[in-house]
A and B are shown apart, each in its own frame.
Chain A
Amino acid sequence: MSIVPAEAVSGRPGTAADTPNRPDPAEPAPLAPRARLLPSLSAVYRAQLSRARVARIPLLFVATFQSVGIMVLMRGVVDGGAESRAVVAGSSVLVVAFVALNLLAQYFGQLRASGGLDHYATLPVPPAAVVLGAAGAYASFTVPGTVLTAVAGSVFFELPLTHLWVLVAVIPLSGAALAGLGAVLGLLAPRHEVATLLGQLGMSAALLLGVLPADRLPGALVYARDLLPSTYGVEALARTFDARPDWGAVGLDLAVCAAVGVFSLAVATRAYRRAAVR
């Protein structure tokens, strides 16, 4: 090719001489704006919530009936008092574990395996918006089932309904902790079958360690129980069935849920970033 003065082409003198193969083009094109965190979070949340109408409602029924069924089963085993509180609280939080942990792990596992994450990864959306939007939506799916289970259980085991308003804090906080865990499992599992398996195992652990009264568990399992984030949601709810609940202890339990939630959602966001760019 013939030689043309660099300034004739690039409009700027001297740049082509340093990089003969790469003359400076005109200014790089302006970038389109990024999507901001809150609007994109609400867009993801709304989209995920709408999926419930299509895909999730049967599973939400399953989650609720499972918990109610377990309470009916345990009616013959426990003899009131602290044990019945543990059963009702454990069954209620189990709904959260089923949906937020198990179903969200499956969702992210499948999305990752099928290449669906590419869709989000090629949009200028903050990773946290995708993870938090999905986790928030799955936590919201649990609301009707958890409330129904808690009310039905309280009536069934003749526990006071007075302090059930605490579900307003228990559902989002244990939801955050369990959804974060579910997202981490789904996004880090090497294959989606593994994500499904881990989600199921997590839910089984929440079932076993949450519903069974702690003082009947063998020693090693008590430690495992302490490691599971759902336990703190169960404890917080169980304490409020007292006539005069120890609100300090309830607050502490919920704080643990919140801390686990923040930590696991942060890890999930990192895992998403890693999974999106392979």
Chain B
Amino acid sequence: MPGQFGSVVVRKAWCAKLTQEMGCGRDHVWSSFVSTVCVVRDLVKTYPAARGRRGTPATPAVRATDGISLDVRRGEIFGLLGPNGAGKSTLVRQLTGLMRPDSGEVEVLGHDLVRHPERASRLIGYLGQESTALDELTVALAAETTGRLRGLALRAARAERDVVLEELGLTGIAGRPLKKLSGGQRRLACFAATLVGERAVLVLDEPTTGMDPVARRAVWAAVDRRRAEHGATVLLVTHNVIEAETVLDRVAVLERGKVIACDTPSGLKEQVAGEVRVELVWRERAPLDVPEVAALRGSAQESGRRWVLRLAPDEARAAVAAITGGAAFAALDDFTLATPSLEDVYLALGGRTKGLVKA
């Protein structure tokens, strides 16, 4: 019908426009548009206060997610970045139906997961942080069993298992129990189990913890392949800024249960584009008797003999000139000038916790 044809055209045009206009955290009129896979609105979860017992002090009530709103689009690798305790895992547990929010909305692929949390398992492939349920199984059986519990018939589960283990380079250790593997290999085996029994949305909670570079590459190649072939959407929890910069399409920065920023990694970095990161490493300790060094101390983050400064470009140039040209040079072991990383963004946005990893 001509009318239907017309609406498809409009839809496509709007997709392009929306991609530019839609951010996260705000209520947009077309936020649950067809290209949006996951919509989160004003999600709140408070852990109740715990009474103190012998040896453990009382803890006040904690708002683990404090009014979080997000939109994740189809085919996107969307990251949740933040230090430990920022509320990333709590948020993910509410998205996967493992935890009921106190209030707010979660919609994945058009399904209301607050009202129907049991549907989450039929929409989302989830890789949690714990592997205890699979630890005593062999790699092959862990993948096969998970596939069968995802609704695959025995033959299909075995066929998919073989494909996924081959893809991730796990065939050689397929017969070994997860317990006997190194942390990174075990993590990769759990990731394999997550992939058997395909899902349109993958939620991965720190998938590459403990992995060597080869295993990491295998993970990101597998994710990319699913995105290219089936338009899979990935929601990734990480506290690793380097990983966030390289693999994510967009990232929401979490701090104490709130989204403090949400953009592409390069868009976020533009917010602190006016700054240069200066790292000074002193031989033994900073020569504070040199006036230029003493002046810089106020804006430096000190850790042992290492100083980190965030300065405007001309300030940075002046500082480096003063230090490398003057009396302080003898005390200097090494220095670097760098463009800011997502860690700098996090700190510039008011992040107070030092918990991000650079690796």
Residues of A that sit less than 8 Å from B by CB = 1, 3-4, 7-9, 11, 20-23, 25-29, 31-36, 39-40, 43-44, 46-47, 50-51, 54-55, 110-111, 114-125, 129, 276-278
Which residues of chain B have C-beta atoms less than 8 A from A8's C-beta?
Answer: 6-7, 10-11, 14
Chain B, interface size: which category? 35 or more
- B33 touching A9 by the CB < 8 A rule? yes
A selection of 18 A-B contacts at a CB cut-off of 8 Å is: A7-B7, A9-B30, A11-B7, A25-B33, A28-B111, A35-B151, A47-B137, A114-B132, A115-B132, A116-B132, A118-B98, A119-B133, A120-B149, A122-B121, A124-B149, A276-B98, A277-B97, A278-B98
**Chain A min CB distance to B356 (Å):** 23
Pair A9/B10 contact, Cβ less than 8 Å: yes
Whether B277 is near chain A, meaning CB under 8 Å from some CB there, is no
Is residue B34 contacting chain A, with contact meaning CB distance below 8 A?
Answer: yes
Q: Indicate if the CB atoms of B154 and A39 lie closer than 8 Å.
A: yes
> With a CB–CB cut-off of 8 A, which chain A residues contact B96?
122
- Binary interface encoding of chain B residues 116-139 relative to chain A, with 1 for a CB under 8 A from any of its CBs, else 0: 011111111010111111101110
Question: For A11, A23, A46, A121, which residue has the most chain B Cβ atoms within 10 angstroms?
Answer: A121
Residues of A within 8 Å of B28, CB to CB, are 1
Known A1-B28, A122-B97; 14 more pairs at CB < 8 Å: A8-B7, A22-B31, A23-B30, A26-B110, A31-B111, A32-B150, A32-B151, A118-B93, A118-B126, A119-B128, A119-B130, A120-B133, A121-B97, A121-B121
Among listed B58-66, B140-148, B214-222, B292-300, interface-contacting one: B140-148
Contact between B149 and A40, CB atoms less than 8 A apart = yes
Q: Does B338 lie at the interface of the complex (its beta carbon under 8 Å from any beta carbon of A)?
A: no
Are the CB atoms of B133 and A111 closer together than 8 Å?
yes
B75 interface hit (Cβ, 8 Å): no
| Cα-based distance from A40 to B21 in the complex (angstroms) | 45
| Known contacts A28-B111, A34-B151, A40-B149; A118 and B128 CB within 8 A of each other | yes
With A11-B4, A29-B109, A47-B137: A23-B29 Cβ-Cβ less than 8 Å? yes
Contact B154 A26 (CB under 8 A): no
B148 touches A35 (CB 8 A): yes
Which of A7, A21, A44 touches B29 (beta carbons < 8 Å)? A21
Most chain A CB within 10 A, of B29, B34, B99, B117, is at: B29
A8, A39, A115, A119 — most chain B CB neighbours (10 Å)? A119
Given A23-B33, A25-B33, do A35 and B149 touch, yes or no (CB 8 Å)? yes
Cα(A43)–Cα(B130), bound, Å: 20
Asked if residues A29 and B128 are in contact (CB atoms below 8 Å), the reply is no
A223 to B10, CA, bound (A): 78
Q: Which of A20, A51, A114, A123 contacts B121 (CB 8 A)?
A: A123
Contact B151 A124 (CB under 8 A): yes
| Chain A: CB-nearest residue to B145 | A47
CA distance A115 to B99 in the complex (A): 12
Q: Distance in Å from the Cβ of B201 to the closest Cβ of chain A?
A: 9
B14 touches A25 (CB 8 A): no
